[in-house]
Amino acid sequence: MKYYIGIDLGGTNIVAAVVDEDYNIITKASTKTNRPRPAEAIADDMAAMAIKAVEDAGLTMDQIEWVGVGTPGIANSSTGIIEYSNNLGFENTPMAKLIQKHIDKPVFIENDANAAAYGEYVAGAAKGAKNAVCITLGTGVGGGIIIEGKIYAGSNFGGAEIGHTVIDLNGPKCSCGRCGCFEVYSSATGLIRMTKEKMDVCPDSLMHKLTEERGGKVSARTSFDAMRQGDAAAKEVVDFYIKALAAGITNTINIFQPDVLCIGGGVCNEGDALLLPVKEIVAREVYTRNSPKNAEIVIAKLGNDAGLIGAAFLGAAAK
């Protein structure tokens, strides 16, 4: 049996896992990222968590093939350098070399969304596909593209920023500086913002009661839960959210025509309430709607483990 280390470097947590050749996570170890702080200190903790995960699995580092890292930002997979990550404050950080100070193994670096997409491709919802796109609906809208079994990152390793394609020129300003990005509408953050805006103009909406019952916090579930109880204002929020999400997905399919397009993130816990109307709109609007074979739209399967599994197999992706 062969074993690999996958590391998910996030703005909040560092998680390392030992993954076997059958894509099973054997052990995990985690610690807080505690940003902002020097890249060297973060790399030290990444290596420490990797070593701990190996020890907890009852293995030795001699049994590990390589280390893979999924990181926010622009990750140069050919040099092992994180060229830029605004969330972590990194610029031209030689992350592979920093980790190799502690672990004498090949270290592969990739953008976290790309790593998650590769995880779904090798072991999740996109397994068996030749070409796949994975979209994650979280704080932002992350994207990962697999073409002919390879991660597509573009000539500058900054590709697959699907969330920063515009679906409304007059829309709200995005954190990237553009207006009306897919991310502004279809991220969990965007859904929460639109829910709050609707609540402000609809004081009698059931969404207020649900929010009070949940400690006063509006979440991505608020509008969906109120809609299921017959709230008209909530239904307007959900209908618009689904329409915007379908628009972004349709654009993505029109460009890449993947075998599978999978969507992940907490919003996808809504299941068929989200997926079925999205699929109906996309089927009606996609350019290839008359084709006998169109992209299959599915919910991602691996959850938070996608990035760890994908990172663990970056060595295979590089071959």
Q: Tell me the pLDDT tens digit for each residue of 60-108.
A: 999 999 999 999 889 999 999 999 887 788 999 999 999 999 999 999 9
For every one of its 319 residues, what pLDDT tens digit does the chain have, with 9 covering 90 and above?
A: 999 999 999 888 999 999 999 999 999 999 999 888 999 999 999 999 999 999 999 999 999 999 999 998 899 999 999 998 877 889 999 999 999 999 999 999 999 999 999 999 999 999 999 999 999 998 889 899 999 999 998 888 888 999 999 999 999 999 888 999 999 999 999 999 999 999 999 999 999 999 999 999 999 999 999 999 999 999 999 999 999 999 999 999 999 999 999 999 889 999 999 999 999 999 999 999 988 888 999 999 998 899 999 999 999 887 7
Q: Tell me the pLDDT tens digit for each residue of 160-198.
A: 999 999 999 999 999 888 999 999 999 999 999 999 999
Please give the model's pTM, rounded to 2 decimal places. 0.89
Q: What local confidence, expressed as pLDDT, does residue 175 receive?
A: 86
d(CA 145, CA 152): 5
Q: Do domains 3-121+305-317 and 128-299 have the same CATH topology?
A: yes
Q: What local confidence, expressed as pLDDT, does residue 317 receive?
A: 83
Which CATH code for domain 128-299?
A: 3.30.420.40
d(CA 110, CA 74): 8
Q: What local confidence, expressed as pLDDT, does residue 162 receive?
A: 93
Q: What local confidence, expressed as pLDDT, does residue 178 receive?
A: 94
With H, G, I as helix, E, B as strand and everything else as coil, classify residue 84: strand
Query: If you classify domain 3-121+305-317 with CATH, what class do you get?
Result: alpha beta
289 by Cβ neighbours in 10 Å (0-12 / 13-18 / 19+) ranks as exposed
C-alpha to C-alpha distances, 70 to 116, 122, 185, 194, 217, nearest whole angstrom: 8, 15, 25, 31, 31
Domain ranges of the chain: 3-121+305-317, 128-299
